[in-house]
Amino acid sequence: MIKLTPPMGWNSWNTFGENISEKLIMETADTMVSEGLLEKGYEYLVIDDCWSLKERDEKGRLVADPAKFPNGMKAVADYVHSRGLKFGMYSCAGNLTCAGYPGSFEHEFIDADTFASWGVDFLKYDYCYHSPIIPGKYLYRRMGLALENCGRDILFSACSWGADETHEWIKETGAGMWRSTGDIFDTWESVKDLTKQQARLHPYNGVGCFNDMDMLVVGMYGKGNVGLAGCSDVQYKTHYSIWAFMGSPLMIGCDIRSMNQATKDILMNPELIAINQDKLCRQPVRLAGIWAGEDLLLYSRQLDNGDLAIGLFNMGENKAMANLNLDEVGLPMSTGKTLRLKEVWTGEERTVTNATLRKELAPFDCAVYRGKVVDL
């Protein structure tokens, strides 16, 4: 399946882990619609690990746990589809999934056929308990080929954590998105670490095969399966801004049934979603800036219609002054042009003067601008 912009949706793992059920999935589907998430572009509802029995049936097929999904996965998929959403599931390239359930190793075609028969639209494919003597690229090629021959259009979400230099071969497999990192946790340290891992990977993101920085922790507040220390709303805002700006798939990980207003405002910021979903999907460019330390990340990204996005991200615990010479984005004063900017969180508008953008950022805060080229 070819996806032209980064996939958006919700995944059960970050908050619920093994504590999933038919009731939870149906309530989440209802909430995605009623709260306006589907309208904003969040279309995939994905069940992660722990959904099956620990043994396959006599025909070698995976079986949904009847205690969790008493009406079976086809019924769940049908309900999700009835709400206008797309339905996603999970498997693994190893003998076992990460939580110890049956994986798809040497069952790729029968599992792809099973998922297709249930009405699955998205498969997250993990990398635990895999063969130590078969390179990962061959395992992902197998499932990619199986999905493309299952008779249903299924988005292949490869989750090999960036292992085995995933970025070098992932486009060979038919994957529509690929995890470039290990797991995220609900801490600022985790967000910061995953962000800094991206520097060498920007050239490998693009239409049809998107670099997945892992699921969002916005709105978790330290609760749930990966909820450790939690983050502040300012940190969640910056986390979301970075993921959106860099073109990562946006997969919500909190319990959306109990979102507060701050979480809704972050997850449904229309201008950031527009930057994430820009049809050109051009890579972000790391800028040097002026006097920027290692915790001050400055980025630009060219958008459709000649617009330019600029992201200023303070990853540190002290306030910082971001200074950016427009020469870095192709607009020295000699061009007779400058930028008219709108900040996506505050709505503040400004025109850059003297070819220099300056912005003071509070600890952990950010500013993201969408700019138009105008005459001086």
Give the catalytic positions in this structure.
126, 183
What is the spatial distance between Cα 76 and Cα 102, in angstroms, rounded to a whole number? 20
d(C-alpha 313, C-alpha 128), whole Å: 33
> How open is the CA angle 256-87-177, to the nearest 5 degrees?
90
DSSP string covering 280-322: T-PPPEEE--SS--TTEEEEEEE-GGG-EEEEEEE-SSS-EEE
CA 114/CA 80 separation, integer angstroms: 17
Kindly state the tokens that stand for 138.
């061959």
Query: Residue 177 corresponds to which amino acid?
Result: M
- H helices of the chain, in order, are 13-16, 22-34, 37-40, 72-82, 108-118, 136-148, 166-169, 188-196, 233-245, 261-267, 270-276
Which residue, among 344, 343, 331, 345, has the nearest Cα to 373 in the 3D structure? 331
- Report the C-alpha gap between 299 and 305 in whole angstroms: 19
Query: Could you tell me if 36 and 263 are in contact, meaning their C-beta atoms sit under 8 angstroms apart?
Result: no
> Is residue 87 helix, strand or coil?
strand
CA separation, residue 77 to residues 36, 47, 68, 85, 120 (Å): 20, 10, 14, 9, 7
Starting at the edge strand found earlier in the chain, the sheet holding 86-92 runs: 210-212, 177-179, 155-158, 122-126, 86-92, 44-46, 8-11, 250-252
